[in-house]
């Protein structure tokens, strides 16, 4: 049994080393771990050589054991010191790794030279390795290098987090198991006559060590470990069942079965287990085809679906890819739709995906006559497609948020640039104004007119690009509007104001004045030289009780409308376009008037819009929300006309 265990350990070590080298590529830590596996395989083979009578060969191989912890130390340094965080101490140790290898080779050569190992006869007269007195320091050096390697791992466990920390913890657990198994190796060297039974489990040490290292790096090893544990559990079940059969078969009268040796029962059962494992996959595929005819689902198909759907950049592209993939798989045309609710589709073979508060879901319509295989394919694909919808939804939301952030950043930069340019333009304008004093009156008047226009544009740019710091105070609305009308150059334009004297707004008076100046100036610009030109400004208060209880403080909505009977606004300028910067049909206008109005109203948490359903050709409606104590009742308005 000991010889078989050592042979199994050697074979496992070779296979593990080859597999690690195949998967390691340029990962130095896995290459070092492969070297450790090779050395362990060679070391175990040395015990087999001793058992077969090749004492000199076996002793020389076993005396090379210092190379095993050296490879493990190399692996530990690379594993702990990998990643973004580098440690100066580990960098120095990594540079000293060639010296550790050189020292280990020197220890091995010196051990061979002085005869640091020997052989004794075991219970069955076979040879087993022992250290001589001169070889004690070979063992001490091996132990010290192993302790240094585990010290590096301990340092890494303290410094790292996440999967690497868990991997190091797993290595410590496996290291304790390996120490328990390897301890029996030195029993004969210290005169202890116990047979090294723990070494029979030595193959498990190497496999567990490698699994603890690579389980978070190479995910495919987890599937292998899952199958291996399943096999181990089934073997234990078989052994337990055989033990029960051996005990009770004789008492039940099954003497022939009781006379069969237990090892034969175990062998027959193991063969049956191997045969079952070999025919499981073919039988599973055959049964799936019988139960789900027409279905051809496997890992390759699912991976292709997933990778293709992830490439979609928008909803139409995702739907197009989804319809192509599913239609190609079942060889029938399938329609895929997106909806906010679960609505029944009349189309044959339709997949509807909809979003709810809990996530994305799907419904299949028109699949009643489809085969079970086609229905299974549709269910699997629909589940995968729903997941892809959720991923694309989050991706688009993140992209929109990033675009909004960049747009806001661009607007801030543009506002700063506009403010700087506006300030700089004031200086040349002042110089032009002073130089115009010596020009003829007609020319001077023309220059002054253009300078006023330029100054207005500069002022609008400063207002639009600057920050809005509101100074809120109670402002009488009627008095504010009347003062603006008194200063405006209305000419023959008739105006009417219908605003109650007691109506006060909680607003920034200066900013609100700018709003009415811009609206009135815009109206006057279009009403000039028009017969029967009229301007009408009215305000009304709508009271809405926010809590359903009559209290002094209520939520109020003040609606202000500015009407004029000038030419109607063109359809191309209606909607949000009307309030965008530099969108105007006004001669000599800056294109910033309504944009400034919109910005000031937004700062007051209000709204402004162009109303088309009034009795006037042009109506702008402002809505301001605020709290006012003891509001006056509706209908108590005072009219002034001119």
Residue 419 resides in a domain? no
Let me know whether 243 and 327 are in one domain.
no
Let me know whether 39 and 72 are in one domain.
yes
pLDDT for the residue 498: 92
> What is the rounded distance in angstroms from the CA atom of residue 271 to the CA atom of residue 216?
34
Find the CATH number of the domain harbouring 552: 3.30.565.10
Let me know whether 380 and 480 are in one domain.
no
> What is the rounded distance in angstroms from the CA atom of residue 375 to the CA atom of residue 493?
75
Let me know whether 97 and 194 are in one domain.
yes
Crossing angle, helix 202-214 and helix 2-24, to 10 degrees? Answer: 20
Let me know whether 171 and 254 are in one domain.
no
pLDDT for the residue 554: 46
Find the CATH number of the domain harbouring 153: 1.20.1070
Residue 433 resides in a domain? no
- Best CA proximity match to 639, nearest among 486, 541, 499: 499
Domain boundary among 368, 397, 426: 397
Let me know whether 66 and 197 are in one domain.
yes
Let me know whether 250 and 308 are in one domain.
no
Let me know whether 285 and 303 are in one domain.
no
The answer to whether residues 622 and 608 touch, using CB atoms and an 8 Å cutoff, is yes
Total count of domains within the chain: 4
> What is the rounded distance in angstroms from the CA atom of residue 130 to the CA atom of residue 111?
13
Residue 444 resides in a domain? no
pLDDT for the residue 441: 81
Domain boundary among 339, 367, 397: 397
Measured in residues, the chain has a length of 642
User: Which residues, 6+ apart, have CB-to-CB distance to 328 below 8 Å?
Assistant: none
> What is the rounded distance in angstroms from the CA atom of residue 309 to the CA atom of residue 312?
6
pLDDT for the residue 69: 85
DSSP state of 615: S
The H-assigned helical ranges of 436-487 are 441-465, 477-487
pLDDT for the residue 221: 46
Count Cβ neighbours within 10 Å for each residue of 624-637 and write b for 16 or more, e otherwise: bebebeebeeeeeb
Tokens 């498990």, residue located: 204
CB atoms within 10 A of CB 214: 22
Tokens matching residue 454: 């330029």
DSSP state of 633: P
Residue 409 resides in a domain? no
Residue 451 resides in a domain? no
The answer to whether residues 151 and 75 touch, using CB atoms and an 8 Å cutoff, is no
pLDDT for the residue 562: 93
Burial class (CB in 10 A: 0-12, 13-18, 19+), 292: middle
- Best CA proximity match to 371, nearest among 292, 448, 299, 313: 292
pLDDT for the residue 106: 92
Residue 416 resides in a domain? no
Let me know whether 264 and 343 are in one domain.
no
Let me know whether 103 and 208 are in one domain.
yes
CB atoms within 10 A of CB 271: 10
Residue 587 resides in a domain? yes
- Residue-number span of the structural domain to which 68 is assigned: 2-218
Let me know whether 120 and 244 are in one domain.
no
What's the predicted TM-score (pTM) here?
Answer: 0.41
CA 535-537-542 angle, to 5 degrees, is: 155
Let me know whether 488 and 593 are in one domain.
yes
Tokens matching residue 164: 């690497």
Residue 331 resides in a domain? yes
**Ranges of the chain with pLDDT below 50:** 216, 218-222, 545-554, 628-637
**342-346-348-354 Cα dihedral, nearest 10 degrees:** -20
Domain boundary among 338, 369, 397: 397
């Amino acid at each position: 049994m000991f010889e078989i265990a050592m042979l199994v350990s050697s074979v496992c070590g070779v296979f593990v080393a080859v597999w690690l080298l195949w998967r390691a590529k340029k990962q130095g830590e896995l290459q070092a771990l492969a070297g450790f596996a090779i050395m362990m395989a060679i070391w175990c083979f040395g015990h087999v050589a001793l058992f077969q009578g090749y004492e000199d060969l076996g002793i020389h191989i076993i005396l090379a054991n210092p190379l095993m912890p050296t490879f493990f130390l190399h692996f530990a340094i690379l594993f702990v010191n990998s990643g973004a965080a580098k440690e100066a101490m580990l960098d120095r140790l990594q540079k000293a790794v060639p010296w550790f290898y050189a020292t280990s080779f020197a220890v091995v050569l010196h051990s061979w030279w002085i005869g640091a190992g020997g052989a004794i006869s075991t219970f069955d007269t076979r040879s087993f390795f022992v250290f001589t007195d001169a070889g004690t320091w070979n063992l001490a050096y091996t132990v010290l290098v192993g302790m240094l390697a585990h010290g590096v791992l301990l340092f890494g466990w303290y410094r790292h987090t996440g999967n690497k920390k868990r991997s190091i913890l797993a290595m410590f657990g496996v290291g304790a198991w390996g120490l328990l198994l390897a301890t029996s190796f030195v029993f004969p060297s210290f005169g202890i006559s116990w047979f090294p039974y723990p070494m029979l489990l030595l193959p498990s040490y190497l496999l567990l060590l490698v699994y603890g290292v690579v389980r978070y790096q190479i995910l495919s090893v987890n599937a292998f470990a899952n199958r291996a544990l399943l096999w181990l559990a089934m073997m234990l079940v078989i052994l337990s069942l055989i033990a029960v059969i051996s005990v009770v078969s004789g008492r039940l009268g099954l003497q022939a079965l009781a006379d069969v040796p237990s090892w034969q029962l175990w062998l027959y059962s193991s063969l049956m287990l191997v045969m079952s494992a070999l025919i499981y996959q073919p039988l599973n595929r055959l049964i799936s085809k019988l139960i789900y005819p027409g279905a051809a689902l496997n890992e390759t198909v699912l991976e292709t679906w997933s990778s293709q759907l992830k490439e979609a950049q928008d909803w139409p592209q995702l739907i197009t890819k989804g319809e192509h993939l599913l239609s190609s798989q079942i060889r029938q045309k399938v329609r895929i739709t997106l909806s906010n609710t679960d609505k029944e589709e009349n189309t044959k073979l339709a997949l509807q995906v909809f979003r709810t508060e809990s996530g994305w879901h799907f419904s299949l319509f028109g699949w009643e006559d489809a085969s079970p295989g086609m229905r299974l394919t549709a269910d699997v694909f629909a589940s995968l497609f729903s997941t892809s919808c959720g991923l694309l939804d989050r991706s688009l939301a993140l992209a929109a948020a990033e675009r909004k952030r960049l747009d806001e950043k661009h607007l801030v930069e543009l506002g700063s640039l506009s403010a700087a340019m506006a300030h700089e333009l004031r200086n040349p304008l002042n110089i032009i104004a002073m130089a115009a004093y010596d020009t003829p009156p007609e020319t001077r008047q023309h220059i002054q007119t253009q300078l006023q226009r330029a100054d207005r544009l500069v002022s609008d740019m400063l207002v639009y690009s600057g920050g809005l710091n509101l100074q809120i105070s109670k402002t009488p609305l009627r008095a504010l509007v009347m003062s603006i009308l008194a200063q405006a150059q209305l000419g023959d334009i008739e105006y009417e104001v219908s605003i109650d004297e007691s109506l006060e707004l909680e607003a920034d008076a200066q900013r609100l004045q700018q709003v009415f100046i811009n609206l009135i100036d815009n109206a006057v610009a279009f009403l000039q030289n028009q017969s029967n030109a009229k301007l009408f400004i009215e305000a009304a208060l709508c009271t809405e009780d926010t809590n359903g209880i009559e209290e002094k403080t209520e939520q109020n909505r003040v609606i202000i409308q500015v009407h004029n009977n000038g030419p109607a606004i063109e359809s191309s300028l209606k909607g949000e376009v009307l309030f965008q910067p530099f969108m105007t049909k006004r001669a000599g206008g800056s294109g910033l008037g309504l944009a400034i109005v919109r910005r000031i109203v937004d700062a007051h948490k209000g709204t402004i819009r162009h109303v088309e359903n009034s009795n006037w050709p042009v109506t702008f409606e402002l809505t301001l929300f605020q709290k006012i104590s003891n509001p006056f009742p509706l209908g108590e308005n005072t009219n002034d006309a001119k």
